Amino acid sequence: SCLRWLLNQAFKKNLLPKQLSIPDGMKNWSGVHKLPDNFRRGRFTKSQYRKLTDHFRSVSFGLQKNEWKPVLQNPSLPFHPVTNCWQSRAQHEGKTGSDKRNKTYTSKSRRYTKAIFWFASLMLSNTGIRVSELVKLKHKHIKLVRDNDDGQLYTVITIPKTV
């Protein structure tokens, strides 16, 4: 196992005063179980995976659909944090058309919840960051950087030691 190898390496490099070992009978202790080598991590079945990907696809579609995105208070003017900020479609349009509007993606709080879920899922799957680190991230740890060569925007995430 990885832990056994790590302990052996530490002993070989004189980082441990004596060689530590994990008892072989440990797998027989109550509360301890061992998965087969080819099945160490949990896996999704094809139907579970299909459900997940369909849900992620619908969230992505909902967040990117122009008719459901937040709008400026006055769309003819540029953004200003005080005089012309972004607002949800539901707030912008008021009662008009509320029966036709998508309740999940045009409401500020519901859209925010979906966006956070989407962001966290992407972060966990694409970066290898742990959940405990993700929940401690702050805005100052995430920056958008534009590449000088092609103008492409990249997300740079700095995880400090305190996280």
117 token code pair = 């879920």
pLDDT at residue 152, as a whole number: 92
pLDDT in tens for each of the 163 residues of the chain? 677 788 888 888 888 888 776 666 666 777 766 666 666 666 678 999 899 889 989 989 988 888 888 889 898 999 998 999 988 888 887 766 667 777 777 787 788 888 888 888 888 888 878 888 888 888 899 899 999 999 899 988 888 887 7
Non-local CB neighbours of 118 within 8 Å, separated by 6+ positions: 56, 59, 60, 63
Q: Biggest alpha carbon distance in the chain?
A: 75
State how far the Cα of 19 lies from the Cα of 13, in Å rounded to an integer. 11
123 token code pair = 């972060």
pLDDT at residue 78, as a whole number: 92
- Taking each helix axis as running N to C, give the angle between helix 108-127 and helix 46-64, from 0 to 180 degrees, rounded to the nearest 10: 130
10: left (phi over 0), alpha (psi -120 to 50) or beta: alpha
Nearest CA to 135 among 120, 125, 121, 122? 120
pLDDT at residue 146, as a whole number: 93
Per domain, the residue ranges of the chain are: 1-43, 45-128, 135-163
* Single-letter code of the amino acid located at 150: D
End-to-end CA distance of the chain: 28
pLDDT at residue 93, as a whole number: 79
Burial-class residue 104 by CB neighbours within 10 Å (0-12, 13-18, 19+).
middle
108 token code pair = 């500020």
